[in-house]
Amino acid sequence: MATTDQPAQPRQPAGGEEASPPPLVRLLHRPRGYATGPHVLAELRRVIVSGDVDPGTAIPLDEVAAFFGLSRIPVREAAKTLLGEGLLEHEPRLGYTVMRLSDAELAELYTVAGALESAGLAAAVAAATSADDDRLRALHAALDESALADATVFARLSREFHDAMLAPSRMPRLLHMLHSAWNITEPTRAMSRVGAPARRLLRDDHSRMLAAFVARDTDRLLALAAEHTHRLEAGLGTPTP
């Protein structure tokens, strides 16, 4: 009889044909060496936050475990951690699935994220240096035509731009809470799924925010950041006049 710490075996379809891995598993990256529980957790979090899997997508524990050559135990523990982070939900019959957010829940998270970002930006502007300005300029320059054409690249660079703008605040607990709120909204309203016209609007927002940041105009920056958040909440609509 197999022990519980033995690697899980992928399910096989009738007739002995090799099963195709579920879409979520195909997005995972396996380490060159031995996989660990923290690696499984980081990979599952990365895939969920990327927005490449839809809300309600099941987390196939056996297939994930087999992919990493592990038992179900570290995969189940990773799922429990992501449940606590608000990225997954659990139902007795369905198991773990990517969190579905109602419109009200999504609006609440954007309100929370907006308040946290405003506090972080105010502190960041007060402490920023010319080196921080240069870092932001370089990241914004990277949002060029090639980045606009690739939604995944744009989403990554956009997140890095916001992180760099907030970094001078030196408020790690606030930033942790803000990142958690951003992560929870991403599967429902994934930046990686917006079209090129919407990405151009976001880049224009970043241009105005960068100018206000470099000018150390806190009031202007906070107003632009709120406008940017409202655009994301509304599904990336027309710029506010």
Q: Is the pLDDT of residue 237 over 50?
A: no
| 79 confidence band (pLDDT: 50, 70, 90) | very high
Q: How far apart are CA 3 and CA 71, in angstroms?
A: 9
Find the mean pLDDT for residues 120-125: 98
Find the mean pLDDT for residues 221-240: 76
Q: What does the pLDDT read at residue 177?
A: 96
Q: Which helix (H) or strand (E) holds 128?
A: none
pLDDT tens-digit map of 88-99:
999 888 899 999
Within the chain, where are the H helices?
23-26, 37-49, 61-68, 72-84, 103-127, 130-142, 145-149, 151-166, 172-185, 196-214, 218-233
Q: How far apart are CA 72 and CA 187, in angstroms?
A: 24
Q: What does the pLDDT read at residue 92?
A: 86
| 239 confidence band (pLDDT: 50, 70, 90) | very low
| 238 confidence band (pLDDT: 50, 70, 90) | very low
Q: What does the pLDDT read at residue 23?
A: 86
The larger pLDDT score, comparing residue 73 to residue 229, is at: 73
Domains of the chain in start order, with CATH, are 23-98 (1.10.10.10), 103-233 (1.20.120.530)
Find the mean pLDDT for residues 187-198: 78
Find the mean pLDDT for residues 29-57: 91
Q: Do the Cβ atoms of 37 and 31 come closer than 8 Å?
A: no
Q: How far apart are CA 84 and CA 88, in angstroms?
A: 8
Residue 162 tokens read as: 């916001």
pLDDT tens-digit map of 152-185:
888 889 999 999 999 999 999 999 999 999 999 8
Q: Is the pLDDT of residue 3 over 90?
A: no
Q: What does the pLDDT read at residue 65?
A: 95
Q: What is the pTM of this model?
A: 0.80
What residues contact residue 159 under an 8 Å CB cut-off, 6+ apart? 182, 191
pLDDT tens-digit map of 196-219:
888 888 899 999 999 999 999 999
Tokens 């990773």 belong to residue: 78
pLDDT tens-digit map of 4-36:
455 666 555 555 555 678 889 999 998 888 899
Q: Do the Cβ atoms of 63 and 51 come closer than 8 Å?
A: no
Q: Is the pLDDT of residue 240 over 70?
A: no
Q: How far apart are CA 171 and CA 206, in angstroms?
A: 22
Q: How far apart are CA 77 and CA 96, in angstroms?
A: 11
